[in-house]
Structure 1
Amino acid sequence: MSVKAGGVHASDTAAAGAARPGRVHRGLSGLRADLFDVRVRTERPPAPFSSRAVALGLLYVAVVLTVGIQGAVLAGYPGVSGGMAFALGLATGAPILLAPQRPLIAWWMSLAATAACAVAGEGNGHDLVQWPWTSVGIFAQIVVLAYVAFHARLRVVVETWAITALLGVALVRNTQEDPSRWGTMPVAATMTAVAMVVVIAFRGRSDARRELAVQADLTATERERSALLEERARIARELHDVVAHHMSVIAIQAEAARYRVPDPPPELVQSFVTIRANAVDALGELRRVLGLLRTGPEGDGELDGQGRPAPLPTLDRLPELIDNVRAAGMTVEHLTVGMPRPLPQGVDLSAYRIGQEALSNALRHAPGARVRVEVAYVPTGIGLRVHNEPTPNADAPAREGSGHGVLGMRERAAMIGGTLDAGHTPEGGYHVDVFLPTEEQ
C-alpha cells in the first residue's frame, strides 16, 4: 500500500515538474511577443496647422534640443570626446522621433542609450545630479514610455516600466564603488511611472468618449429606423382600410352582377363567381396579413365617438385641421388653386397626413409664426405647400418632437411615386413642398 502511495506521489511530482517548464516557456514566449512588437503604427500626414501638425513640430524640436543638450552635458565628462558626446546625444534623441510609429523599438533604443550614457559618465565621479540618467535622459525616457503607455496594452506597459527600473538598479548597484548611492534612478523611476499612469488615464478617457460617440451614433440610427418602421406600420394600417374597402366592393358587385341581366350565359355567371371568389380570397388574405395593423399594439388607431375605427381622413377635412391650428395661436392662410376634384383614396389620405404633420411641425418649432397652406389641383396630380415664417418671439419655447416628421412625410410621398422637398428658407422659416401624382407616370 505504501509503495503504491509512494508511486502515485512520485508520478505527481514528475507531472508537476514537467508542467512547470511548460508554463515558464509560455511565459517567456508571451514576454518576447510583448516586448518585441515591431509593427508600424501608420497614420495619415497631418493637415497643415492642425493640432497633430503642431504636436509633430514640437516633437521635432524636442529631438533637436535633446540631442544638443545631451551632447553638451556628456562632452563635459572626462574621457568623452566631442564626437562620442554627439553620438550619445543622437542615441538619446532618436528614440523620441521613432516612438510615435514604433514605440517598443524606440524603448529598446532608449534603454541602450541610457546604458551607454551611464557607462560613459562612469568616470565623472557618479555625480548624483546627472547619473545614471541625465536630466535630458530622464525627459527622453519619459517621452518614449509615454508613447508605449498610449499604444500598448497594460501588461506591456508594466513590463517596460519594470525593465527600465531594473536597468537603473543594475547600473547603480554594479557600476559604482558605493552601491548605496542611487543617483537619479529613483527620480527617473517615479517620473516615468507618473507619466505612464497619466497617459493610461487619458487614453481610457479618450476610448470611453470614442465608445460613447459610437453608441450615440448607433442610438440615433436605431431611433431613425424605429421612427421609419412606425410610420410604415401606420401607412400599412391606413392602406389596409383602403384596399379592403375596394376588394369588398369588387366582391359585392361580382355577386350582384349576374342578377342585373336576365338569363345571363352560364359562362358569364361562372366568370362572376370566379371574380367574387378571388376577391373574397384576396380580402381574407389581406385581413390575415395586415389585420393586426389596423389598431396596432400601441392602440393608436383613430376612433369615433362610439369607440369604433373612424373613417380615414381626406383633404376635405383640411379646413378643420387649419381651424384647430388657429385655435392654438397660429395665423394660418389657406389658398386653393384649381378646381377641387375627387382623388384616389391613397393620394387623398397621404396629402392630408402630410399637411397634418407639416402644420404640427410649424406649431411645435415656430409657435406664433404666420403659416401659409397652398393646395394646387393640376391635371396630373395634386401639389401641397406648407410654409411658416420665423417665430416672432425669439424667447418662445419650441416644443420637442420626435425629430422624424420629415422622414415620415417623405416615406408617404415616395410610397405613391410623389416627391417631397423640405428645408429652411433664407429668411429663417421652413417649407414643405410635395407633389403627389394621380396618374401613372
Structure 2
Amino acid sequence: MTTWNTFLRALVEPVPDHRPPLHNARRPWVRALPFLVVLAMVGSLLPTGVVALTQFYDVNGGLAASLALVQTGALALGLVRPLTGWQLMAPTVLIGAIATHGAAADQPWPWPAPTLLCYLFLMVFLAIRERGRTLLAVWAVTFLGNSLSWTAFSEYFDGTSVVVTALSGVIMLLGWSLRGRGEAQRLLAAQEQISETERARRTLLEERARIARELHDVVAHHMSVITVQADSAPYRIAGLPEPAVAEFGQIANAARGSLAEMRRLLGVLRAADTEADKAPQPGLADLPGLLSTVAQAGVHAELDLADEVLALGPVPEAVGLSAYRIVQEALANVVRHAPGATARVRVTASDGALTVDVDNDPSPGKAPAVETSASTGHGLTGMRERVRLLAGTLDTGPTADGGYRVAAVLPITATDATPGETTA
C-alpha cells in the first residue's frame, strides 16, 4: 500500500521549481532558446496534428482540433510545469487512440506522428526538471499503456508503441543523468564558495589570535616593569609618606592582577601553541635575518633602513613587531607568487610614523609559481588587521612593470586619527 501511494504521489506532485530551462544562462538568446524551440514545435505540430487526424484517421474536425490543441499546449506548458503538461497530454493520447482505432490500417496506431513528437519532446522537459521517482512513474504508465495496446489490439500493432516506450525511457534516463550531474556540479561550486568563505574567516581569526598573543608579550613586559617599579619605589626613594607608599602598593597589585587576567585569557589561545610561538617577538633589528631566510628560497631581497629610522633608536614593540610581520608576509607572497624575483624593503620614518615599503619585480619568465597547501590566499588579511590596530594605513597593488607593492604607514606614537586603509 505504501509503494502504491508513493507511485501515485510521484504522478501528481510536481517539483516546486517552475523556472524554464536555461533560465540562469548569462546570454539572453540562450535563455530565450527553449521558448523559440517550443514556439516552432507548436507552430508546426498544431496544424499538422489537425490535418493528420482529419485526413488520415477520419476524426471529426472539432475533436481533432481539440486533441491537437491540448497536446501542443501541454508541450508549451512543459517549459515551466512539465508534469502538469504530461497530466494533460496522457488522457488525450488515450482519447486519440480510441478515436483512431481501426480508422486507418496503413497509419501508425495508437501514436500518430504529431502526437508521438509532442510526447517525446515533453519527455525531455520532464527529464531535466522532475525527480527520478516521478520519471520512473511516468515511464511505468507509458509502458503499461503501450503494453495494453499491443496486447489487446495486436491486429493493429505496428511497432510505434515499442518505439515510444524505448525512446521515452532513454530520454528520461539521459536527462535524469545529466540533471544529476549538473546538480552535483552546482552543489560542489556552492560548497567551494562556502569553504573559501570559511578559509577567509579562519585566516582572520587565526591572525587576530596571533596578534593577541603578541600583544600579550608586549603589554606584559611593560606591566611587569610597572609592577617592579611600584614594588621597589619605597626602597629606592627615601622619605616617602605613607599615602604614597600605599598608592605604590595599589599600583603594583593592580598591575599583577592585570597580568594574571591576561595570562588566563591567553591560556585558551596558546592551548595548542608550540614552544616556538612563545619565543621573544621579532622587530626591526631582525629584518636582516628575515631577508637572508627568503634568499634561501630563491628571492633576492634588498634592505634599506633610512638614517632617520636608525636615529629613532628602539621603536615601540607593537610598531616594530607589526613592521616585521608585514615585511615577512610580503616577502612570503613574493616567494609564492613571483619566485626568483628581486624584492626591495625600505623602512623610513617621518612625521611621527614609520613607513614600510616592500616592492618586487615580476617573476622571471621561466620561474614556476610555488603552490603550497599552507597558503590560504589571504595574506593581506593579517596586514590589514595590524594596520588597523595601530591606526595606520595600508596600500597594496600591482606596479606598472608587472610587480607588486605593499606600503604601510604605522604611527610611532599614540594618535587620535581614525584607522584607515586604501587598497590599490
- Provide the TM-score with structure 2 as the length reference: 0.85
Contact 1:366–1:391 at 8 Å: present in 2 too? yes
The aligned residue for residue 245 of structure 1 is 221
Cα distance change on mapping 1:46 and 1:53 into 2, 3 Å: farther
Cα distance change on mapping 1:358 and 1:181 into 2, 3 Å: same
Contact 1:70–1:92 at 8 Å: present in 2 too? no
Write the letter of the residue equivalent to 1:92. Q
Give the match's secondary structure for 1:377. strand
Structure 2 distance, partners of 1:218, 1:145, is 35
Find the partner of 2:366 among 386, 395, 404: 395
Give the match's secondary structure for 1:435. strand
Write the letter of the residue equivalent to 2:252. R
Gaps of 5+ in 1: 1-22, 303-308
The aligned residue for residue 364 of structure 1 is 336
Deviation, 1:277, is 0.9
Write the letter of the residue equivalent to 2:139. W
The aligned residue for residue 345 of structure 2 is 373
Contact 1:47–1:53 at 8 Å: present in 2 too? no
Find the partner of 1:406 among 371, 374, 380: 380
- CA RMSD between the two structures: 2.8
Cα distance change on mapping 1:363 and 1:156 into 2, 3 Å: closer
The aligned residue for residue 90 of structure 1 is 69
Contact 2:45–2:72 at 8 Å: present in 1 too? yes
Cα distance change on mapping 1:63 and 1:78 into 2, 3 Å: closer
Structure 1 distance, partners of 2:297, 2:94, is 81
Matches within 5 A, 1:37-436: 37=13, 41-42=18-19, 49-80=28-59, 84-127=63-106, 130-172=108-150, 176=153, 178=154, 181=157, 183-291=159-267, 293=269, 297-299=272-274, 301=276, 310-326=279-295, 328-337=297-306, 339-340=308-309, 341=312, 342-392=314-364, 394-401=365-372, 402=375, 403-436=377-410
Structure 2 distance, partners of 1:40, 1:312, is 58
Cα distance change on mapping 1:390 and 1:45 into 2, 3 Å: closer
Structure 2 distance, partners of 1:300, 1:233, is 16
Write the letter of the residue equivalent to 1:64. G
Deviation, 1:184, is 1.6
Contact 1:77–1:121 at 8 Å: present in 2 too? no
Structure 2 distance, partners of 1:221, 1:388, is 29
Give the match's secondary structure for 1:80. coil
Contact 2:57–2:104 at 8 Å: present in 1 too? no
Structure 2 distance, partners of 1:328, 1:45, is 46
Contact 2:75–2:118 at 8 Å: present in 1 too? yes
Number of paired residues?
406
Cα distance change on mapping 1:369 and 1:298 into 2, 3 Å: same
Q: Deviations over 1:106-152 (max 9, x none)?
A: 0022112212332332243344x521012332222122233233333
Structure 2 distance, partners of 1:271, 1:45, is 72
Structure 1 distance, partners of 2:291, 2:207, is 23
Deviation, 1:428, is 1.9
Give the match's secondary structure for 2:235. coil
- Give aligned-pair identity as a percent: 37
Structure 2 distance, partners of 1:263, 1:435, is 47
Structure 2 distance, partners of 1:370, 1:172, is 81
Write the letter of the residue equivalent to 2:392. G
Cα distance change on mapping 1:123 and 1:424 into 2, 3 Å: same
The aligned residue for residue 420 of structure 2 is none
Deviation, 1:349, is 0.4
Cα distance change on mapping 1:264 and 1:431 into 2, 3 Å: same
Gaps of 5+ in 2: 418-424
Q: Deviations over 1:78-121 (max 9, x none)?
A: 53355654443322221111012112220022112212332332
Deviation, 1:195, is 0.9
- Provide the TM-score with structure 1 as the length reference: 0.82
